[in-house]
Amino acid sequence: MIQSQLDDIILSIKADHGPLGSALTNALQLGTRKVISLNRRNVAIGHLLNILNKYDAFEEDVTFASKIEFISHDSNTVALTLTIGSETEVIASTSASNIDYIIDTFVALFNATHSPQYIAFKFENIMYVYSYDVAATFTDLVSFATTSTSSIEASVTNLQNDQSEILDLWNPITSDDLCRLIKLTRALISTNC
């Protein structure tokens, strides 16, 4: 999900929330028993909107996304090469057991100016790379090479069909939870006032 889509959903919910506020106001003026129920729904919707507003979505449509999991088998000194699409970065010499250094270095190298532009970040022993650049595509190949086949390996997963994995790292709720919260908020609004 991209931020503009989420913003549109939130605006739609806020617009649909208006009649509930009117019903609450009318119930307060009339002194009916509906006040408690309407107020609880109104407060719940307010809290749900706060959660939706704090969700970090992608800025634009993602054109490329992959995760690269690094696994070290020993501490041999190796030279490493990582290629994404047409961009290749090299770490000349390091210990294969120094996964943090390897990932931090590749993250810094791929976050530098490239064409297409990539955005990389580290989570544990995984490097995530994605792009909004239209020159990057999900068909871009990712390859990893080392001078020693037994020292370190990288497992590459194309995230074309599961970009939510990245969003789930950024947010305290999962993408599935976000969808459920949107449905719940709409259900609370649509219940007869």
Rounded average pLDDT per 10-residue block, the chain, 193 residues: 95 87 79 80 91 96 97 89 94 90 96 92 97 96 85 93 96 96 92 58
CA distance 191 to 4: 27
Contact yes or no for 63/119 (Cβ under 8 A): no
User: Distance between CA atoms of 180 and 173, rounded to whole angstroms?
Assistant: 11
Site of tokens 């939510």: 164
pTM for this predicted structure: 0.86
- Cα of 146 vs its chain's centroid, Å: 30
Distance CA 7, CA 3 (A): 6
- Per the DSSP assignment, residues forming a β-bridge with 119 are 130
pLDDT of residue 193: 47
**CA dist 149 → 142, 153, 154 (Å):** 17, 7, 11
Q: Are 134 and 112 in contact (CB under 8 A)?
A: no
